[in-house]
Structure 1
Amino acid sequence: MTGVELSAADWALACLLGAAIGLDGVSWPQAMWSRPIVAGTLGGLLFGAPAAGCLVGVWLELVLSRHPPFGGARHPETGPAAFMAGAAYAAAGDGALIGIVAAVAVGWAIGWTGAHSVTLLRRVTPSLVSRPEGFRGGAAALARRHRLAIALDALRAGLLVAALFVPSVLFVRLLSTQPSGAAGAAWWPVVAGLGLAGAAGVAARGLGARGRHWPALAAGCVLGTVLLRVFA
C-alpha cells in the first residue's frame, strides 16, 4: 500500500536538486528556484506530476509567506522543504485531500528543520574567514574560503534531502492511501491537530503581546476545523 518506486538514481538526483535548491536560498545564485511554488513543481516533476507538486508549492507559499528570507530572524528554509513536499504528494498519485494536508505539514516541519541546520552552519562558516589575529593569505585565499562556505551550504541542503526525502514520500503516501472507513478517518484528527497547533505557534510569534489579535486567531482555528470536517 505504501510502496513507491524510487531507484537509487532518482534518490541521488533528488539529493542533487535539493542541494541546488537549498543553495539558491541564500548563497548562490538566488535565482528564485528556492521559492516553494518552483521547488514544489520540481519535486512533482521527479515523479512525473509537476502540477501536483505545484499545488503543494502554492499552499506552502501561503503558509510560509510571513517568513521573508532576509534579516537576522530565523525563518523556515522553504526550498528543500517544498521540493520534498511536492515530490511526496506527486508520489501519492491519487490526489486525495488528506495527501495535500499531509504534504503541506511535511513541508512546514522540514522547513523549520532546515532553519536549524542553517543556524548551525552559520556558526561554523565565520571561522573560515575570521581569526582573532586577522585573516591572512590575500584575496585569492579569501575567495577560496568563500567558495568552500558555499560548498558547505550545498552539502548541508543535500544531506537534509538525503535524510528526509524517503520518509516524507512514504508518510504522505501512507496517509493518502488509507481506506475511507474508520481506519482512514482516524488520521484526520491527528493531521488536523498538528496543522492547527503549528499554525497557532507560527502566528503566536507575530502576535506577541498584542492580545486584541488572539480572537481572530481563535476564530480562524475554529473555521479551519469546520472546513476540515466538511471536506472529510
Structure 2
Amino acid sequence: MTHWLALLPLTLLGAVLGLDVVSFPQAMVSRPIVAATLAGALVGAPLRGLICGVTLELFALETLPFGASRYPEWGSASVVGGAIFAVQDEATAGAMAISVFCALVTASIGGWSMIEHRKLLGRYAGGMREYLARGSSTAVTRLQLRGLTFDLLRGGLLTFVALAVFSPLSTVLFAGWTFSSEVSRGVSVALAGAVGAAAVWKVVHTTKGARWYLLGGFVIGAALVVAT
C-alpha cells in the first residue's frame, strides 16, 4: 500500500471525507464507521474496515464539534486507520492497536490543520473586507470556493502524508509486536469502549435513571457477545 499510485484512491477519499467534516456537505459520511468502511472497501476488505470504524467511532463519541473549537478530524483519520487495518491478515497481532494509534495521531494532526485552515480563510477575508462590506456576491462566492478548495486539499494532503508515513511504520511495528492478537485487540476495544461510555455518560448523566439504562445496555451487550 506504500506505492504512491496505490495511495491515490485513498487520498481522494480522505480529501472528500475531510471536506464533509465541516465545510460541505456535512452528510455524516466522515463518521469513522462510514469512513473506515469505505477505506476498507477500496483495499478489498470492507468488513475489516467496518470493524476498525466501529472501534474508532467509540473514540469519536467523545468529540462534540461546536463552533470554532478545536477537535479531532475523524474523516481523513478513519481512512488512514481503516485502510491500515483492512490490508492486514486476520491473524496479524497488533493490527487493531496499531491501526487505531495511527488514526488517533492523524485525527489530532487533522484537528490542528483545520485551525490553520480557518486562520488562512480569516486572512483572505481580511483582504476582501471592503468588498464583503459592500455585500459583493462575487467576493462571498470567491471566499467560499477558496475555503472549500483549501479544505479539500487539506484533507487529501493529510491522508496522503499519514498513509505514506504510517504504512511503512506499521510494518515495522507489526514485525516487533510481542503481544498476542487477542490481547492487543481486547485492550484496544476495551479502551475505546471506556471512552465511548464516558462520552455518553457525560451527555446523559443528568437524566433520571440513566445509570440503570447504561448498566442494562452493558449487560445485554455482554450477554450477546458471550452468546455468539
Q: TM-score range by the shorter chain?
A: 0.7 to 0.9
| Residue-by-residue CA offset, 1:122-157 (whole Å, 9 max, x unaligned) | 111022223496335711221122111110011111
AA partner of residue 148 (structure 1):
R
Match status 1:185 vs 2:183: no
* 2:147 paired residue number: 149
1:92-111 matches, cutoff 5 A: 92-111=88-107
| Residue-by-residue CA offset, 1:51-101 (whole Å, 9 max, x unaligned) | 111111111111121112223431100010011100001112234351101
Alpha-carbon distance, 1:28 to partner: 0.4
Q: How many positions carry a matched residue from both structures?
A: 191
Query: Where does structure 1 lack aligned partners over 5 or more consecutive residues?
Result: 208-232
* 2:215 paired residue number: none
Aligned mate of 2:44, from 45, 48, 53: 48
Question: Take 1:140 and 1:13, find their aligned partners in 2: how far apart are those partners?
Answer: 33
- Classify the secondary structure of the residue corresponding to 2:70: coil
Match status 1:86 vs 2:79: no
* 1:140 paired residue number: 138
* 1:25 paired residue number: 21
Aligned mate of 1:39, from 6, 25, 35: 35
Alpha-carbon distance, 1:165 to partner: 1.0
Question: Take 1:36 and 1:184, find their aligned partners in 2: how far apart are those partners?
Answer: 25
Aligned mate of 2:167, from 149, 153, 169: 169
AA partner of residue 138 (structure 2):
A
Pick which of 94-103 and 119-128 moved more. Answer: 94-103
> Which protein, 1 or 2, shows the higher relative CO under an 8 Å CA cutoff with sep ≥ 6?
2
AA partner of residue 168 (structure 1):
F
Query: Where does structure 2 lack aligned partners over 5 or more consecutive residues?
Result: 182-186, 203-228
Distance change in 2, residues 1:143/1:95 (3 Å): farther
* 2:157 paired residue number: 159
Say what the alpha-carbon RMSD is for the aligned residues.
Answer: 3.1
Question: Take 1:132 and 1:140, find their aligned partners in 2: how far apart are those partners?
Answer: 11
Question: Take 2:95 and 2:179, find their aligned partners in 1: how far apart are those partners?
Answer: 14
Q: TM-score, normalising length from structure 1?
A: 0.71
- Classify the secondary structure of the residue corresponding to 1:125: helix
Alpha-carbon distance, 1:11 to partner: 1.5
Contact 2:94 2:177 in 1 (8 A): no
* 1:123 paired residue number: 119
Percent identity, please.
Answer: 32
AA partner of residue 40 (structure 2):
G
Contact 1:39 1:83 in 2 (8 A): yes
